[in-house]
């Protein structure tokens, strides 16, 4: 049993200097040859009822971050304070109770729903695990309620996942996430696998639920900047395991400071020919470097169009440039 | 501009246990020389199948091209059998294709050199040495650093973006008249996608190649494409230049598609419901069930053909064309 430190905070989640290193082993003796620094000294917080958007390219550590918050991974270093309790050293047994208040929606609604269980069982399972209902009747009513909340018909509870379309399956994931009445839902690319017209439906559903429920917070992980901007109050941009810029949603788009955020924003095609005809684009050269051996100094400097000599030497720290707009860059 | 490709009344069906799936249903479109055409639609709307039909790459059985003609540069491609020498001489030589997933479309067991030179040796009868030099030159043009060395690497030694660059280089090798890019940038990260689009459009511009861009991302087509064909449930429902369609979407599906893309400071209006099943579909308007302008006639009369709106703008929605809404 680990000791429980209670920290006073009004935030749902406070992450302090979180590090998550995955060892890389090679050879017959599985000798450790290095670490993949999936998260390197990251600090974020989420307030009740807030949506924090997490943007970045694949391999930048956004999913690792989501999984660390839910303690699906045990972080290498740093603290995860969830509703005032430091859960970074909790055992599985301790976590069981805490996990009622957190949920996750995965990217792929095809692999994240058990094909052998019917949809009612999938959605109702958290209720049984956490003993949230007293009678069969109450259980069934609650499942029906969750179905309606997520925009599904309650008479679909007997159907199996394969009988649903992609968008409906993602609604099932939402219903399941809501079952424990959580205060935080980690949405890990919940719309990337869906068609455009379905994406809009799920985005609106998530937003409506937040408005209705009041104190529900989301960590919304996505590589689609436009979707993130639509749903988030604040946005953090990640690059190679570090947060490079974080600010209020509107501020980030109106006043993009970090060169990587600028490039990311400009790489996003705008579905409007009039805007596109005049828009200047920043095309980055090269690929995202491997997190096994990130570049020295600012890890973005080899691809950066603003890089100065000092960028390859000194790692820039996140600093506040006013109104809670944080940026980690020497050139800003 | 001269007409390069004319597709008329193309229909492709798949026979399945559950019935006949009309994946592509009577579509007609044209591509001019060195023109960039976009084909937009959601998954399962038949956009890939229509392009595979043009290339005659539909596996038969279960697939079958049941009607239509594909006139490419004066020859009807559908008169040739799928495996015929004539068809093989066209694929990769006059029409090239770039697929979504570069890892599955490159052979993992062969070096890039082997795969690239093969194209030229097969189609142009080039000597190996010359083919290798040309391949290196082409890799150089698509921005692969140190191309002379990298050409002897295997596909897994390249990153996703680099692999797709190799695919572009390979598609351009024989200087084809048309390239079909089937969701070529969808699997890539945002910044890499932007690099690749810029490269692809630069290359077709340089070599005056026509490009058919198949995508579900309206943003990708807005910047580069001359004409757009919007597909829904196996049919082309609207066709026109980018400006015509954006200024005045005449099909409710296109309108819905445009308004359900998140934009800065605008409320999202999703399209209700989901795409219909293509099994044994009726010949009434497939979008009627989700449409906000639907009227009684939409469920009773057969769906209208593409009708001229103005200029080069065509739509298949009778209700909006008649000005009833």
Alpha-carbon distances, residue B244 vs B5, B49, B231, B314 (angstroms): 22, 26, 16, 10
Beta bridge partners of B29: B7
Alpha-carbon distances, residue A105 vs A175, A187, A190, B143 (angstroms): 10, 5, 6, 38
Pairwise CB contact (< 8 Å): A165 & B192: no
Instruction: Determine the pLDDT at residue B264.
Output: 66
How would DSSP label each residue in A52-100? EEEE--TTSSHHHHHHHHTTSS--SEEEEEETTEE-TT--HHHHHHHGG
Rounded mean pLDDT, B1-14: 90
**Cβ–Cβ contact B268 with A under 8 A:** yes
**Cβ–Cβ contact B292 with A under 8 A:** no
Give the model confidence (pLDDT) of A112-131 as tens digits.
999 999 999 999 999 999 99
Tokens standing for residue A64: 């690792």
For A229, which of B197, B262, B275 is closest by C-beta distance? B262
Higher pLDDT, B280 or A250: A250
Give, for B124, the enclosing helix (H) or strand (E). helix B112-124
Q: Which chain B residue has the Cα nearest residue A231?
A: B262
| pTM listed for this prediction | 0.83
Alpha-carbon distances, residue B39 vs A290, B31, B193, B312 (angstroms): 35, 11, 18, 16
pLDDT band at B41 (very low <50, low <70, confident <90, very high): confident
Q: Which of residues 67-96 of B touch A (CB under 8 A)?
A: none
For B189, which of A58, A199, A274 is closest by C-beta distance? A58
Q: Smallest Cα–Cα separation from A283: which of A303, A298, A254, A255?
A: A303
DSSP label of B177: S
Residue B184 has a CB neighbour count (10 Å cut-off) of: 28
- The structural domains of chain B, ordered by start, are 1-91+226-325 (3.40.50.300), 102-211 (3.40.50.300)
Sign of the C-alpha dihedral computed for residues A130, A135, A137 and A138 taken in this order: negative
Give the model confidence (pLDDT) of A122-162 as tens digits.
999 999 999 999 999 999 999 999 999 998 988 888 999 98
pLDDT band at B205 (very low <50, low <70, confident <90, very high): very high
Distance between CA A131 and CA A61 in Å, rounded?
Answer: 34
Pairwise CB contact (< 8 Å): A284 & B191: yes
For B219, which of A197, A270, A274 is closest by C-beta distance? A270
With a threshold of 0.90, tell me whether the complex ipTM lies above it.
no
How would DSSP label each residue in B189-201? -HHHHHHHHHHHH
Instruction: Determine the pLDDT at residue A3.
Output: 47
- Average pLDDT in chain B: 88
Where do we find the tokens 């999938």?
A122
DSSP label of B305: P
Distance between CA B286 and CA B288 in Å, rounded?
Answer: 6
| HSE of B49, CA atoms in CB hemisphere, 13 A | 31
Q: Smallest Cα–Cα separation from B315: which of B245, B216, B246, B225?
A: B245
B chain contacts of residue A251, beta-carbon cutoff 8 Å: none
Query: Among residues of chain A, what percentage have pLDDT more than 90?
Result: 51
Q: Which of residues 231-260 of B touch A (CB under 8 A)?
A: 242-243, 246, 256-258, 260
Cis peptide before A42 (omega within 30 of 0): no
Give the model confidence (pLDDT) of A28-63 as tens digits.
888 888 888 889 899 999 999 999 999 988 888 889
Distance between CA A193 and CA B283 in Å, rounded?
Answer: 30
Pairwise CB contact (< 8 Å): B263 & A227: no
Give the model confidence (pLDDT) of A95-118 as tens digits.
988 999 999 999 888 889 999 999
What torsion, rounded to 10 degrees, do the Cα atoms B279, B280, B281, B284 define? 180
Alpha-carbon distances, residue B16 vs A165, B51, B59 (angstroms): 19, 21, 13
Sign of the C-alpha dihedral computed for residues B126, B132, B135 and B137 taken in this order: negative
């Amino acid at each position: 049993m680990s000791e429980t430190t209670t920290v006073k905070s009004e935030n749902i989640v406070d992450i302090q200097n979180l590090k998550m290193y995955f060892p890389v082993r090679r050879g017959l003796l599985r000798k450790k040859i290095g670490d993949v620094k999936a998260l390197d000294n990251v600090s974020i917080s989420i307030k009740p009822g807030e949506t924090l958007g997490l943007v970045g390219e694949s391999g930048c550590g956004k999913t690792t971050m989501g999984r660390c918050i839910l303690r699906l991974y045990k972080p290498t270093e740093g603290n995860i304070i969830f509703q005032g309790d430091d859960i970074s050293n909790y055992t599985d047994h301790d976590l069981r109770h805490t996990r009622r208040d957190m949920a996750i929606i995965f990217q792929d609604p095809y692999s994240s729903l058990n094909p052998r269980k019917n949809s009612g069982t999938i959605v109702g399972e958290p209720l049984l695990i956490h003993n949230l209902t007293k009678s069969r009747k109450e259980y069934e009513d609650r499942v029906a309620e969750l179905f309606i909340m997520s925009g599904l018909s309650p008479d679909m509870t007997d159907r199996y996942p394969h009988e649903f379309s992609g968008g409906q399956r993602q609604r099932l994931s939402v219903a399941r996430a809501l079952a424990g009445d959580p205060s935080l839902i980690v949405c890990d690319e919940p719309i990337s696998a869906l068609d455009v017209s379905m994406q809009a439906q799920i985005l609106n559903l998530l937003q409506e639920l937040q408005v209705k429920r009041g104190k529900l917070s989301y960590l919304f992980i996505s590589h689609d900047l436009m979707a993130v901007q639509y749903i988030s109050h604040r946005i953090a941009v990640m690059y190679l395991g570090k947060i490079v810029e974080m600010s209020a949603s509107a501020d980030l788009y109106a006043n993009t400071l970090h060169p990587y955020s600028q490039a990311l924003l400009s790489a996003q095609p705008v579905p409007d020919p009039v805007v596109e005809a005049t828009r200047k684009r920043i095309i980055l050269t090269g690929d995202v470097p491997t997190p096994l051996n990130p570049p020295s100094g600012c890890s973005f400097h080899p691809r950066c169009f603003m890089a100065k000599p000092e960028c390859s030497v000194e790692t820039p720290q996140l600093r506040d440039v006013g109104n809670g707009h944080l940026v980690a860059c020497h050139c800003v | 501009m001269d007409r390069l490709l004319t597709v008329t009344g193309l229909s492709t069906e798949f026979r399945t246990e559950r019935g006949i799936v009309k994946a592509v249903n009577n579509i007609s479109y044209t591509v001019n020389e060195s023109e960039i055409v976009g084909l937009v639609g959601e998954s399962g709307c038949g956009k890939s199948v229509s392009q595979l039909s043009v290339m005659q790459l539909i596996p038969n059985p279960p697939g079958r091209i049941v009607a239509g003609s594909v006139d490419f540069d004066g020859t009807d491609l559908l008169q040739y059998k799928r495996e015929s020498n004539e068809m093989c001489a066209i694929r990769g030589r006059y029409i090239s294709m770039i697929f979504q997933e570069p890892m599955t479309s490159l052979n993992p067991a062969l070096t890039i050199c082997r795969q690239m030179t093969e194209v030229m040796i097969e189609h142009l009868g080039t000597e190996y040495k010359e083919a290798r030099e040309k391949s290196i030159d082409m890799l150089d043009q698509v921005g692969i650093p140190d191309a002379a060395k990298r050409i002897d690497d295997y596909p897994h030694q390249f990153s996703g973006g680099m692999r797709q660059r190799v695919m572009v280089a390979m598609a351009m090798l024989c200087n084809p008249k048309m390239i079909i890019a089937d969701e070529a940038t969808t699997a890539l990260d945002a910044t890499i996608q932007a690099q690749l689009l810029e490269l692809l459009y630069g290359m077709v511009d340089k070599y005056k190649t026509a490009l058919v861009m198949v995508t579900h991302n309206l943003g990708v087509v807005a910047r580069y494409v001359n004409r757009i064909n919007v597909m829904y449930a196996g049919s082309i429902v609207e066709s026109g230049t980018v400006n015509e369609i954006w200024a005045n979407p005449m099909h409710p599906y296109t309108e819905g598609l445009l308004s359900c893309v998140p934009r800065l400071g605008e409320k999202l209006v999703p399209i209700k419901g989901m795409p219909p099943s293509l099994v044994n579909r009726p010949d009434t308007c497939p979008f009627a069930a989700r449409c906000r302008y639907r009227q009684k006639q939409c469920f009773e009369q057969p769906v209208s053909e593409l009708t001229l709106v103005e200029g080069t703008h065509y739509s298949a929605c009778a209700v909006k064309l008649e000005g009833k809404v």
